[in-house]
Structure 1
Amino acid sequence: MLTQLTVTNFAIVKFLELELSGGMTSITGETGAGKSIAIDALGLCLGDRADAHMVRPGAKKAEIIARFSLQHIPAARRWLQDNELENENDCILRRTVTHEGRSRGYINGIPVPLSQLKNLGQLLVHIHGQHAHQTLLRPDVQMQLLDGYAGHKALLRKVKDNYQGWQFLNKELRHLQQQQAENDARKQLLEYQVQELDEFALQPNEFSEIEQEHKKLANSGTLMEQCQAGLDILYENDEVNALSLLQMSANRVESQADNDPALSEITSILQEAIIQVEEASSQLRNYCESLEMDPEQFNYLDNRLSQAMQLARKHQVSPEELCKKHQELAKELDGISNSEERAAQLERELANVRANYLEEAKKLSQSRQRYAEELSQKISESMHQLSMPAGQFLIDVLADENAEITSMGIDTVNYSVTTNPGQPLQSIGKVASGGELSRISLALQVITSQKASTPTMIFDEVDVGISGATASVVGKLLRKLGETTQVFCVTHLPQVAGHGHQQMFVSKETDGTSTQTSMHALKPEQRLEELARLLGGDAITEKTLANAQELLIQ
């Protein structure tokens, strides 16, 4: 719960420090004193939008600090732990706003973005403004109130998870479908190109190999002529050849080796040369014998080279890169084919997810219908207490399995009401007057808040348009709520204020040049005087004091 609030240089507040307790706290004060200013300051701490006009004139910055006890708020403790902002059982929120309009937020002394203040604030405080009854006409608010009362968070989470899964798959499917027209045209071209390259079937490095073999066959005559001539010179010429000359030279040098041992090494070199010439002659003879004139093979290679270069020009690559280009086009075609298979798979997955979604949504719908009956009965009873004895309230939950799915399920929620005998139930916005709508809204807020996990509730002049015995009933409702929840109620009605477990008074002072608002807790005797003032104005009489005493609930 909220245990302390410190406000510095905010609007017309120079400095305000409040120690706060549980139960119901009534907040009263003179008209125009700024009874809601502390709530506005707290709202800033909880992530409301900041504005330079919030800073007290003449001050450099405004600062608001709110301290909360988290002893009975496990959800807030978990949130702080998950975000590495924990601080044992207390939590301190701080917000500053400069006179230029720049603001900063802190949680337990650590700077945080505004979104984190808002996320944590939703777990700590719920503020019901004086215009809350106007939002009651909105279908989304009607749904939120019912779900808040039902407390079926697990069902809502399952429906939302299935919806998000469906949305993710549907987005991917739409993306594939948008590409389908382009893919169809591209696929036809790719199928033709890949088929053509498949039929040609050029293998890696094949172009270089056939190019080399083509060159060999193109010059086979010259190769045969020159290689045979080389063989004659080396070995086969009967008159003179390199081998016989080497042998003659080696024999002559060897014959003189006895006269000079240095010739032995030269003889060895010549013998090696003879061996090399013999080996070269043998290999050259084998080459000449294997060399064939093959016109058919030459024509085949010539055609294949021409096709390869023609296809390379067609795909704007070099012949050596044609095989790689073939692989790339085949991969792209395979990708398009896979996208078609993926689209079919996505449609199957979407059908399964939708089926799971509908299963969970039906469970949620059943829960809503059950709690709608319960809540309708309680609101009807509260209407009777709030001076609408013939009042009847009904929450219709209409499920449509064929409707477009949403994160909130398949239901449409509609609040219907009748306030006069013989009047049929109609949509709440058509038949309820402003005062009736305000009372119904208040009953809804109080009843649904009893099941809410938020530990602190603030009601900011929600009793506008209520008076007399009805106001006393409102006070009883808020006091009952205060038995389990910390409640702050800004009110101008003594019948409501008297039900508070404690009461705070807001006053405004001016010295002619500046204005300042202050707020302090009232002692029992001061509460009596304040209730008397609310009853009879500034002139407090014995009669108004006696009436006030009757209103003050101890």
Structure 2
Amino acid sequence: MPAEAGISGGSCPDFIFPPAETPASDGMTHPRNPLAAPVPLFYTCPMLTTLAIRDVVLIEALDLEFGPGLGTLTGETGAGKSILLDSLGLALGTRADSGLVRTGAAQAMVSAGFDLPADHPAFALLAENGFDADPGEALVIRRVVKADGGSRAFVNDQPASAATLRELGGMLVEIHGQHDDRGLINPRGHRALLDAFGRLDVAGVAAAHAAWRTAEDALEAARTDIENAARDREWLDHAVEELNRFGPEPGEEATLAAERADMQKGAKLADDLVAVGAHLDGSDGGLAALRQAARRLDRIAPEHPLLADALAALDRAVIEASEAEDKLAAAAEAMRFDPARLETVETRLFELRALARKHRVDPDALADLRDELAARLDRIEAGDAGLARLEAAARDARAAYLTLAEALSEARRAAAVRLDAAVATELAPLKLDAARFRTVVETLPESGWSPAGRDRVEFEIATNPGAPFAPLMKIASGGELSRFILALKVALAEQGSATTMIFDEIDRGVGGAVASAIGERLKRLASGAQLLVVTHSPQVAARGASHWLIAKSHDGLVTRTGVRPLGADERQEEIARMLSGAEITAEARAQAMRLLEAA
């Protein structure tokens, strides 16, 4: 892969660049899409940070910590590497099998911790499913499997379903093993990967598709309304005329009900209000008496301080009594019982409610209903002219979508040529020189058109000369499949997928220069992602930024699998073992040192 087609920005890239020029099988080079520019990644450096395993098969208790870049896991055949991957898969939502529980234990538990940027799509998924997840903190998923069957799943200690774990796990980790049918193998994601590789403008097509569907929906709604309205024309005329004649207003029911209640109260309280008024009003009322007493006391108040205090109190009583008289008058007016007005209000209120029941709406919705029914009548009146305008708008929107979708299809076919060429350059070094790779771009029937355009995209391979092309998942050899995935990963430069990847024995059945090429590509890919590789190849193991040894130990009749990180000297010794077998020679140690220095 050309240098400029790699991932820029060190171990945590900010932008991805497609190749400036990509060699093709015809000997020519194809320039980068002229519209291409650096693409910001959706998120940066998400990675698996911790893995805790308890009582899984031969693992009694294991706590691992991981960092960025390429990490390698090695060990003798049968040491338990598959147990480690099965444990991680369990945390990521694979089927729970009680056979994973260590003999004699009540349950097995696996917990995986992830460090994710705040804008990682996993947080949106969790929010949609009602989980509390702070983007500033680590994300921990945990799975418990009981020995008697059944399992429980948790996200940040909140109960979750296995389905949620699977969906979440697909955003966090890709596991490429001997029988993997996810990630790059699944054709459902191929179109998005091609678009990301070619840096194609799908957003414009999606907007045009939405505008087209909106225009079509408006046209269909108008046709349906006109058909229904024409069938119900007589009823509509009557309903609109009745509503117009009645003239309902929003909030009218509450106003009428309040006025009716006040008048009913006024009728009930009329005698009491008259009696109270008589006590206060008139020449013989209480208020007049208070005023006479105040005037007489005013003449003698200077004679003693207590008389002055009494006058002040009496003045206050006169003021309060006057206010009471005013409020009584206001209350009497507010609740004034007018039999004619009450009858009018009650008639209007009852008719309003009856009309609402007739049309099965709230009384306050009658005004809106009147406008809606009147609009339906207007559409009938508009007739063919209105439909013609909507049909023209739908045709124009469809044409606009087709223009953009066709341009997108052309851009996809051009990007497919570049991608095929980029993958082809990676195949020979990986001992896949007889294989061929192609990206199929087919136009779908109109029923399959979508916001993503009109195309079906699928990656296909032919493993032998003269063999027909077939989908990736049809490939026979697991080792070949892993190497194809690696070639495609390098060509795609990790566009649009999870950035924690696990390769299980990608170097199976190869050695020497091929193993070295695999290691070089894994290291290059790890410059912008976290990779964990289970390997038997010393050339691959030497490329790792970190190295773990998986080994069995025996304590009497008890066998355990353990995993431990290796220091520099231990790495050299382990790689020497991988080179020479049971007996480690001085030459093997020297060769191991040369591999480590070359990495």
TM-score tier, shorter chain, comes to: 0.5 to 0.7
Q: What residue in structure 1 maps to residue 80 of structure 2?
A: 34
Q: For residues 531 and 474 of structure 1, what CA distance do their matches in structure 2 show?
A: 16
CA contact (8 A) 2:219 2:394 kept: no
**1:102 equivalent in alignment to 2:151:** yes
Q: Secondary structure of the equivalent of 1:483? A: helix
Q: 1:396 to 1:92 in 2, by over 3 A?
A: closer
CA contact (8 A) 1:418 1:431 kept: no
**1:377 equivalent in alignment to 2:439:** no
Letter in 1 for 2:150: G
Letter in 2 for 1:75: H
Deviation at 1:193, TM superposition (A): 10
Q: What residue in structure 2 maps to residue 533 of structure 1?
A: 577
Q: Secondary structure of the equivalent of 1:36? A: helix
Q: 1:453 to 1:352 in 2, by over 3 A?
A: same
Q: For residues 130 and 4 of structure 1, what CA distance do their matches in structure 2 show?
A: 24
CA contact (8 A) 1:395 1:415 kept: yes
Q: 1:17 to 1:387 in 2, by over 3 A?
A: same
Q: What residue in structure 2 maps to residue 45 of structure 1?
A: 91
CA contact (8 A) 1:438 1:464 kept: no
**1:55 equivalent in alignment to 2:101:** yes
Q: 1:171 to 1:484 in 2, by over 3 A?
A: same
CA contact (8 A) 1:63 1:94 kept: no
Deviation at 1:137, TM superposition (A): 6.9
Deviations 1:509-547 (A, max 9, x none): 344654322111112222222223323332323343344
**5 Å matches for 1:210-289?**
none
Tell me whether 346-355 or 24-33 shows the greater mean CA deviation. Answer: 346-355
Q: 1:374 to 1:31 in 2, by over 3 A?
A: same
Tell me whether 338-347 or 540-549 shows the greater mean CA deviation. Answer: 338-347
Tell me whether 445-454 or 495-504 shows the greater mean CA deviation. Answer: 445-454
Letter in 1 for 2:85: I
CA contact (8 A) 1:29 1:505 kept: yes
Letter in 1 for 2:86: D
Deviations 1:31-66 (A, max 9, x none): 222213333333333343434333333333333333
Letter in 1 for 2:77: T
**1:446 equivalent in alignment to 2:490:** yes
Q: 1:122 to 1:364 in 2, by over 3 A?
A: farther
Q: 1:5 to 1:428 in 2, by over 3 A?
A: closer
Q: What residue in structure 1 maps to residue 134 of structure 2?
A: 86
Q: What residue in structure 2 maps to residue 239 of structure 1?
A: none
Letter in 2 for 1:125: V
Q: For residues 32 and 404 of structure 1, what CA distance do their matches in structure 2 show?
A: 48
The match for 1:475 among 499, 511, 519 is: 519
CA contact (8 A) 1:9 1:55 kept: yes
Q: What residue in structure 1 maps to residue 175 of structure 2?
A: 127
Q: For residues 174 and 465 of structure 1, what CA distance do their matches in structure 2 show?
A: 61
Q: What residue in structure 1 maps to residue 405 of structure 2?
A: 361
Q: Secondary structure of the equivalent of 2:423? A: helix
Q: Secondary structure of the equivalent of 1:544? A: helix
Q: For residues 90 and 208 of structure 2, what CA distance do their matches in structure 1 show?
A: 35
The CA RMSD over aligned residues, in Å, is 5.1
Deviation at 1:372, TM superposition (A): 1.8
Q: Secondary structure of the equivalent of 2:448? A: coil
Q: 1:51 to 1:436 in 2, by over 3 A?
A: closer
CA contact (8 A) 1:126 1:458 kept: yes
Aligned pair count reads: 431
CA contact (8 A) 2:489 2:525 kept: no
**5 Å matches for 1:29-428?**
29-70=75-116, 74-76=119-121, 79=124, 84-86=132-134, 88=136, 90-99=137-146, 100-107=149-156, 109-114=157-162, 116-132=164-180, 139-140=187-188, 142-150=190-198, 152=200, 155-156=201-202, 354-355=398-399, 357-389=401-433, 393-400=437-444, 402=446, 404-406=448-450, 408-415=452-459, 426-427=469-470
Q: For residues 459 and 135 of structure 2, what CA distance do their matches in structure 1 show?
A: 43
Deviations 1:91-111 (A, max 9, x none): 13131314141303122x444
Q: For residues 56 and 516 of structure 1, what CA distance do their matches in structure 2 show?
A: 10
Q: 1:451 to 1:96 in 2, by over 3 A?
A: closer
CA contact (8 A) 2:90 2:143 kept: no
Q: What residue in structure 2 maps to residue 8 of structure 1?
A: 54
Q: What residue in structure 2 maps to residue 290 of structure 1?
A: none
CA contact (8 A) 2:91 2:110 kept: yes
Deviation at 1:497, TM superposition (A): 1.6
In terms of Rg, which structure is larger? 1
Q: For residues 44 and 176 of structure 1, what CA distance do their matches in structure 2 show?
A: 53
Q: 1:400 to 1:526 in 2, by over 3 A?
A: same
Letter in 1 for 2:68: G
Q: What residue in structure 2 maps to residue 502 of structure 1?
A: 546
Q: For residues 91 and 103 of structure 1, what CA distance do their matches in structure 2 show?
A: 20
Percent identity of the aligned residues?
33
Deviation at 1:131, TM superposition (A): 2.9
Q: For residues 174 and 359 of structure 2, what CA distance do their matches in structure 1 show?
A: 66
The match for 1:19 among 46, 65, 68 is: 65
Deviation at 1:412, TM superposition (A): 3.0
TM-score (ref. length: structure 1): 0.60
CA contact (8 A) 1:131 1:462 kept: no
Q: For residues 98 and 387 of structure 2, what CA distance do their matches in structure 1 show?
A: 53
CA contact (8 A) 2:50 2:112 kept: yes
CA contact (8 A) 1:85 1:110 kept: no
**Structure 2, unaligned stretches of length 5 or more?**
1-46, 240-244, 247-353, 362-369
Q: 1:523 to 1:360 in 2, by over 3 A?
A: same
